Amino acid sequence: MVGKILEEIKTTLAGIDIHEASYEQKGYHLTVDAQKGNILDIAGFFKGRAFYLEDMCCVDYVDYLEIVYFFNRYIELCRVKVTLKIEPDKSIAPTISNIYTMARWYEREVHEFFGVYFDGHPNLTYLFLHDGIDHYPLRKKQVPVPEDVKRLLNSYKPEEEEDAFFVNLGPQHPSTHGVLRVVVKMDGEYVLSAEPVLGYLHRMHEKMAENRSYLQFLPNPARIDYPGALFFNLAHVATVEKLCGIEVPERAQYIRTITCELNRIASHLLWLGAFPADLGALTPFMYAFDDREQILDILEDVTGSRLTYCYFRFGGLYNDVGDTFIDKTKNFIKRLRERFSMYEKLITGNVIFVNRAKGTGILEQAEVTKYGCTGPFVRSTGIPYDIRKAEPYAVYDQVDFEVPVGTTGDNMDRYLVRIAEMEMSLRIIEQAITKLPSGPFKAEKVPKKLKPPKGDIYYAVESSRGETGVYLVSDESDTPYRMRWRVPSFSNLMTFPALAEGTLIADAIATLGSYDIVVPEIDR
């Protein structure tokens, strides 16, 4: 596939600078050096070949800014890194938001952090930051925001429109699971448009990463996504390990798989409780939390914390697991299997629930590449895209599991996919426990002060919400030169305006609930 794409690009787009990269080392297959003149053609080319915009970020190399686009495919993996060099002062780049809708948010993000202007962007305002920021935070040298531009950078203010009924769902609203704000324009009970407004939980983890060593940053990823803390912990640790070439012992890899899958179940259970609560059924919440509590107990024993785990270390784990962990996990698997039949009766078999969830919030399979959705969200449309299968990490290539997919991509499918995924996770845990080898749980001779070689790497893991990727640029110092987090909820949420438009407000809220968004993850 990679060779075919390479040939196609060479023949279709003349005069383009394209190279093959070492996937084993870099995490991407191809690199393309784009120019301002041909970036739109390149994006259009990838769009036409069912590539999705995986990530888009910017790196400040002081002499120039480099905008990095990652394109990838759901079927037959082929990750392409497209770079676009632009001048550091008065930097202007063409927008690709007409081709990839998701780029609207990515470009706003690059704009507020680096001061890059995107020509033709429909709404180039701040996404996360508030109006009072006087410099671009991710630039290496302090670059002030021009005075005359400051006024233009105000956040989204829809209330100025006349003759429209606006409702603010959030930032304090029961259905937004945190501090997401959705500005909904309504006509009676119907939603005319819904615009998410982000940034209420923005903590600038990407900047924090640049200011501390790799080891010091260890606790941070857990705060980016609190229900799926271990995935983010793993994404950070594994990226650095791969860049430094640290070998991880097999036992550690197995334990990573087991704990990650436990965390996935815990995260899905949290969602399983919250989704019916969005539909008005409050009891499943308590039942799901009852089960989730068991996982938290198990994980507390080995990691020392109940929510924001910091368990993985460079080259292994914080500590080894004992027999009690194995026994407890086995008991839990037995217990949860019994409980599934109860959820079946309580939720899946409930006629009101089915009527509410079926046929609402339908995501068309053809639309997903525009947004770059991942995780259960994209699997519900029938695309079996799972990083665990596509580019196996830890020991996912040594266990037997399937990727559950839906058919229509409605709320019910998203529910069923997540339920099936929990069962699949139980299967993975069972296999991993039987295969668990003995041996060391930590690599020897991992230096205390990590100084990865110069270069960049993209590494992704499958978190409970989708593809969690880290794009790491190292300059051989003990702190990252740039650490970019690609988070799944961010690109999943982008579909919300399209899915909510024209539906009843109750359906829009059910749809929002089915996303399983985690706001700290979106805002970072």
Residues making contact with other proteins (CB under 8 A): 165-167, 173-175, 189, 276-283, 285-287, 290, 346, 350, 352-353, 355-356, 504-507, 509, 513
Of 19, 69, 76, the closest CA to residue 49 belongs to 76
Minimum Å gap between C-beta 522 and other proteins is 20
Closer by beta carbon to other proteins, 95 or else 176 = 176
Closer by beta carbon to other proteins, 150 or else 185 = 185
Q: Name 344's Cβ contacts closer than 8 Å, sequence gap at least 6.
A: none
Minimum Å gap between C-beta 165 and other proteins is 7
Neighbours of 329 (CB within 10 A): 25
Minimum Å gap between C-beta 19 and other proteins is 51
Closer by beta carbon to other proteins, 56 or else 347 = 347
Of 250, 285, 255, 280, the closest CA to residue 270 belongs to 285
CA distance linking residue 50 with residue 372, whole number of Å: 10
For the CA atoms of 146, 151, 157, 159, what is the dihedral angle to 10 degrees? -170
Closer by beta carbon to other proteins, 2 or else 346 = 346
Closer by beta carbon to other proteins, 18 or else 504 = 504
Minimum Å gap between C-beta 344 and other proteins is 14
Closer by beta carbon to other proteins, 1 or else 286 = 286
Minimum Å gap between C-beta 46 and other proteins is 39
What sign has the CA pseudo-torsion 8, 10, 14, 16?
A: positive
Minimum Å gap between C-beta 193 and other proteins is 16
Minimum Å gap between C-beta 504 and other proteins is 6
Backbone angles phi and psi of 190, in degrees to 5: -95, 145
Q: Are strands 92-94 and 117-119 parallel, antiparallel or unpaired?
A: parallel
**Burial class of 501 by CB neighbour count within 10 A (0 to 12, 13 to 18, 19+):** middle
Closer by beta carbon to other proteins, 123 or else 355 = 355
Minimum Å gap between C-beta 416 and other proteins is 16
Minimum Å gap between C-beta 340 and other proteins is 17
Q: Are strands 30-34 and 17-20 parallel, antiparallel or unpaired?
A: antiparallel
Minimum Å gap between C-beta 285 and other proteins is 8
- Element holding 197 (H helix, E strand): strand 190-197
Closer by beta carbon to other proteins, 276 or else 480 = 276
CA distance linking residue 179 with residue 17, whole number of Å: 43
- CA–chain centroid gap for 370, Å, is 16
Question: What Cα–Cα distance (Å) separates residue 409 from each residue in 344, 366, 367, 504, 515?
Answer: 20, 11, 11, 18, 11
88 near 60, Cβ under 8 Å? yes
CA distance linking residue 30 with residue 28, whole number of Å: 6
The DSSP symbol for 212 reads: S
Residue with tokens 């990095």: 68
Minimum Å gap between C-beta 405 and other proteins is 25
3-state SS class at 339: helix
Which two tokens mark 373? 């959705």
Closer by beta carbon to other proteins, 284 or else 375 = 284
Closer by beta carbon to other proteins, 92 or else 167 = 167
Closer by beta carbon to other proteins, 345 or else 445 = 345
Closer by beta carbon to other proteins, 149 or else 352 = 352
Q: Name 34's Cβ contacts closer than 8 Å, sequence gap at least 6.
A: 16, 42, 69, 82, 83, 84
Minimum Å gap between C-beta 351 and other proteins is 9
Q: Where are the alpha helices (DSSP H) in 344-410?
A: 351-357, 368-371, 376-379, 387-390
Residue with tokens 């039949």: 341
